[in-house]
Amino acid sequence: MTYPRIRPRRLRRTAALRRLVSETRLAPAELVLPMFVKEGLAEPRPIASLPGVVQHSRESLRKAAAEAVRAGVGGIMLFGVPASRDATGSGGLDPDGILNVAIRDVVAEVGDVTVVMSDLCLDEFTSHGHCGLLAADGSVDNDATVAAYAEMAVAQADAGAGMLGPSGMMDGQIGVIRQALDAAGHTDTALLAYAVKYASSFYGPFRDAVESALVGDRRTYQQDPANVRESLREVELDVAEGADVVMVKPALPYLDVLSAVRDLVQVPVAAYQVSGEYAMVEAAAANGWVERDRVIMESLTAIRRAGAQIILTYWAVEAAHALRELD
């Protein structure tokens, strides 16, 4: 009987050894908290399918943003829920629309100590729920939509957002938005491109959170879950058009895509752990079927390991606190 001299288990024997050789570490600065603010709310309102997440009032948003900063998160991504919608999503372009007002509020509250980001898309503001403007035949009109995004981008930058997240998956949106920002003097406003965004069923709870009016799906602009080369093409285009950071979304079901994107480009890569990923863990944990806290950290570690340098997650504040305790 011969015994192995090479023993990988040697490095797993104690917590100190495991800590020493760990290849992936998470830090609060890499976590971004998505937040919802609803026009006209006096009190924050819970979202049934996202336990622990709320639609904020303007007042509660300011407080929660300050709390997130104290926890050390790297950024905040704002989503607005308007009181009323129309066919062109005009509330998104209006400087006094809920999202732009909320950007001003949060910037006034937290200043420059965290990165204030805003979702740049029309779906929260349109009466039909699509991410863009509709042509006469009911299809989403790419170029008209991108022109609206350009105007929306300038309004968000005027409001003080430091990084904009175009998430509508229209062709050419990064280039057109970059041009409009530069022309308006916002040359320092960064773009976090939702470069890779799948037509995913994991967005269900988010659509509750923003009270989406969508009937049908987004498969003519978001990507087919079957494809990965198509994602690399999207990423290359966005980087060429001026994206400062590229994002893959959802995260956990698409780790192979994340890894391929990481290998392809030199800009920072982000991943969005989306609402359905969050809700599944919360639901299973509520039933006692998984260990909640460990599943959260394991999923974040996996997303980080696959190549995301930045992670958008509804657990950002909680995870930031947990990481500080570990350290």
Catalytic site positions? 197, 249
Q: Write the binding mask 208 to 227 for ligand PBG: x where contact by CB under 6 A, - elsewhere.
A: ----------x---------
Peptide bond into 268 cis (omega under 30): no
Query: Residue 185, by phi and psi: left (phi above 0), alpha (psi -120 to 50) or beta?
Result: left
Contact positions with ligand PBG (CB under 6 A) in 120-139: 121, 123
Do residues 73 and 317 make contact, with C-beta atoms less than 8 angstroms apart? yes
CB of 202 to ligand PBG, least distance (A): 6
- Cβ neighbours of residue 316 under 8 Å, at least 6 residues apart? 28, 31, 32, 33, 68, 71, 73
Binding segment (CB under 6 A) for ligand PBG, from list 14-22, 80-88, 116-124, 154-162: 116-124
Do residues 184 and 156 make contact, with C-beta atoms less than 8 angstroms apart? no
Closer Cβ to ligand PBG, 98 or 274, answer by number: 274
Burial class for 216, CB neighbours closer than 10 Å (0-12, 13-18, 19+) = exposed
Residue 282 is a binding residue for ligand PBG (CB under 6 A): no
Residue 275 is a binding residue for ligand PBG (CB under 6 A): yes
CB of 21 to ligand PBG, least distance (A): 34
Q: Which of 180, 173, 174, 176 is closest to 158 using CA atoms?
A: 180
Identify the residue among 125, 149, 198, 206 touching ligand PBG (CB under 6 A).
206
Residue 228 to residue 206: CA distance in whole angstroms: 24
CB of 327 to ligand PBG, least distance (A): 28
Q: 3-state class of 164 per DSSP?
A: strand
What are the structure tokens assigned to 179, written together?
């041009």
Residue 23 to residue 10: CA distance in whole angstroms: 16
CB of 31 to ligand PBG, least distance (A): 14
Q: 3-state class of 121 per DSSP?
A: coil
Residue 119 is a binding residue for ligand PBG (CB under 6 A): yes
Binding segment (CB under 6 A) for ligand PBG, from list 92-100, 118-126, 148-156, 281-289: 118-126
CB of 24 to ligand PBG, least distance (A): 23
Closer Cβ to ligand PBG, 39 or 123, answer by number: 123
Number of residues that bind ligand PBG (CB under 6 A): 9
Closer Cβ to ligand PBG, 7 or 129, answer by number: 129
Closer Cβ to ligand PBG, 62 or 130, answer by number: 130
**Element counts in the chain: helices (H) and strands (E):** 12, 10
Q: Give the angle subtended at the CA of 246 by the CAs of 294 and 233, to the nearest 5°.
A: 115
Identify the residue among 69, 164, 170, 274 touching ligand PBG (CB under 6 A).
274
What is the length of the chain? 327
Residue 203 is a binding residue for ligand PBG (CB under 6 A): yes
CB of 173 to ligand PBG, least distance (A): 12
Identify the residue among 60, 100, 142, 167 touching ligand PBG (CB under 6 A).
167
Q: Which residues bind ligand PBG (CB under 6 A)?
A: 119, 121, 123, 167, 203, 206, 218, 274-275
